[in-house]
Amino acid sequence: MRDHDLNFDDDGRPVLITRAAPAYEEQHRQRVRKYLTLMSFRIPSLILAAVAYGIWHNGLISLAIIVAAIPLPWMAVLIANDRPPRTAEEPRRYDSPRRIPLFPTAEQPAIYSRSVTETPQSGTAEFRDDRPS
C-alpha cells in the first residue's frame, strides 16, 4: 500500500482535515450545552425579579425581567434543535409511497379499472367491470 493511500503527504506526515464536520455526538453535546445554559438563566431571572421588587418596590422593573425570561425556553429549544443541513449522502427517513390528496375524489385505483370493448356489429360499447364484488 502506498503512503498517499493512507492520507499521508510526500514527507510521510499525516494530512490534517480542517474542513471536516464535527461528529454528530459532538454537535449534539454542544446543542445540549447551549440549551442548558439558556435554561439556567430562567429560574435566576425569576428570583432576580422578586429581589428587584423587594429592593425598589417597582413592579415595572420586575415585570420587565419576567417578560425577558418568558421567551427563554422557546429560544433554548430552537437553538437546541438547530443542526447543520443534511448532506446528499444522508438517507432520508420518510419516503411517502404516494401522496394523499387534501380533498379525496371518487377515483378508483388502477387495479379496479373498467375496460371498454366495442362490438363492431352493433356499434355499441360494452362495459366490463373488473372490480371484486
Domain residue ranges in the chain: 29-80
Which is more confident, 36 or 83? 36
- Which cell is 124 given? 355499441
Whole-number Å distance between alpha carbons of 40 and 92: 35
Spell out the long-range contacts of 121-126 with Cβ–Cβ below 8 A and sequence spacing 24 or more. none
How many C-beta neighbours within 10 Å does residue 96 have? 6
> Given a cut of 90, is residue 41 above it in pLDDT?
yes
pLDDT above 90 covers a percentage of the chain that reads: 38
- Cα Rg for the chain, rounded, in angstroms? 33
Would you state the pLDDT for residue 91? 75
Would you state the pLDDT for residue 86? 75
Would you state the pLDDT for residue 89? 77
Which is more confident, 77 or 1? 77
Whole-number Å distance between alpha carbons of 68 and 46: 10
Which is more confident, 113 or 21? 21
